[in-house]
Amino acid sequence: MERAVRDAAEEGLDGLLVTPGPDLLWLTGYRPTAITERLTLLVLRRDADPQLLVPTLERPDAESAAGAEAVTISDWRDGDDAYATAAPLLLSDGVYAVSDSAWAMHLLGLQKELPDSRYSSITERLPMLRAVKDADELARLQAAGAAADATFHEILKVPFAGRKETEVAADLARLLREFGHEQVDFTVVGSGPNGANPHHEAGDRTIAAVDMVVLDFGGLMHGYGSDTTRTVCVGEPTAEMRDVHEIVRVAQQTAFETVRPGIACEEVDRAARRVITEAGYGDQFIHRTGHGIGMTTHEPPYMVEGEKRLTVPGMCFSIEPGIYLAGRFGVRIEDIVTVTADGGRRFNDTDRALATVH
């Protein structure tokens, strides 16, 4: 919390206003049992001690949180004006960064109570707040990556041909939980032409022989995320399928080899995109190369053109180039990577060669 306040001061902010979500959990260890319409607000100011305002009925849970001793807890009762209670905790003309997930109702209530105050999103003003992971966070991410790898090894053993995408997706979700995930966030199974949609939701399409199938899956384990993608073929792939897959594999490897401290995030994107563009598929690579990961599966930093922020040891992000041939098939390969003192380290180690399934 002290570092967050220092970072905020360097950005010209008077402090941070943190509502339920990953930022609150990361800063205090407190996750409300239910995120409701009742205001919960952590106020971090450079000129005051940390204050946590909670509904009276949730105070016992807040007091039992891991970081409760580091904050002063106050409460408000149903029937009280929560915003009038919160107002004395803020500067009347303060400039604050607010959690991206804050309810508009709460922000509008604070603005009405303190009309001279000003607000912007934490991601806009402090995008690197949670980006650099400590040793414990890195260990959690590594464990989540290993569990996702184990899931991929097992999914190769299940039948694909003749089954619906939703059935394979259910297998992925079951395996993620078996290997330790407490939460499954997504199980993309894009077969045949559906693989050309990067965010395809598993549907009722029946997987057929010689289908390329994009498998993108992940969730939370010990509170930290996994996210990996491999593309497989049902039976023997065509020469074109092999060629496209190899281009993506080389692009992914080239981007990984680019990772080291002190490069701009956009350089990772450029490295992958250069390989795919030179192979003639630049227009078919239609998304950024990567995103940060931590307590959520998508967070800053982003590996995309225009992101000049420099990488530092402890940053963690995906590298996931792809080629998408509309109406035919798609290929994507994704690993989670962390920046080390002299390069990069993967948290996913499954084979990146084109695997075949039955």
Question: Dihedral of CA 344/354/144/224: which sign?
Answer: positive
pTM of the predicted protein model: 0.94
State how far the alpha carbon of 87 is from the alpha carbons of 30, 79, 128, 345, in Å. 22, 16, 28, 46
pLDDT for residue 55:
96
pLDDT for residue 34:
76
Three-state helix/strand/coil letters over 116-159: CCEEEEHHHHCCCCCCECCHHHHHHHHHHHHHHHHHHHHHCCCC
pLDDT for residue 102:
94
Instruction: Name the residue among 65, 118, 64, 73 with its Cα closest to residue 91.
Output: 118
Task: Examine the pLDDT at 35 and tell me if it is beyond 80.
Answer: no
Asked whether the beta carbons of 183 and 219 are under 8 A apart, the reply is: yes
pLDDT for residue 36:
80
Mean confidence (pLDDT) of the chain: 97
- Residues 126-148: pLDDT tens digits? 999 999 999 999 999 999 999 99
Domain with CATH 3.40.350.10 in the chain: 2-125
CATH class of 2-125: alpha beta
CA 65 from chain centre, in angstroms, equals 24
**Residue 299 CA neighbour count, 13 Å, CB half:** 26
**Segments in 30-134 forming alpha helices (H):** 59-63, 82-86, 104-113, 122-125
- Residues 312-330: pLDDT tens digits? 999 999 999 999 999 999 9
Average pLDDT over residues 72-101: 97
Q: Which of the four pLDDT bands, split at 50, 70 and 90, describes residue 250?
A: very high
Task: Examine the pLDDT at 67 and tell me if it is beyond 90.
Answer: no
Instruction: Name the residue among 187, 240, 185 with its Cα closest to residue 212.
Output: 240
pLDDT for residue 125:
95
Domain with CATH 3.90.230.10 in the chain: 135-357
Q: Which of the four pLDDT bands, split at 50, 70 and 90, describes residue 66?
A: confident
Contacts of 283 (CB under 8 A, 6+ apart): none
Residue at token pair 């409300």: 32
Average pLDDT over residues 191-209: 96
Q: Which of the four pLDDT bands, split at 50, 70 and 90, describes residue 157?
A: very high
- Residue 301: asked if its preceding bond is cis (omega within 30°), the reply is yes
Q: Which fold has domain 135-357?
A: Creatine Amidinohydrolase (3.90.230)
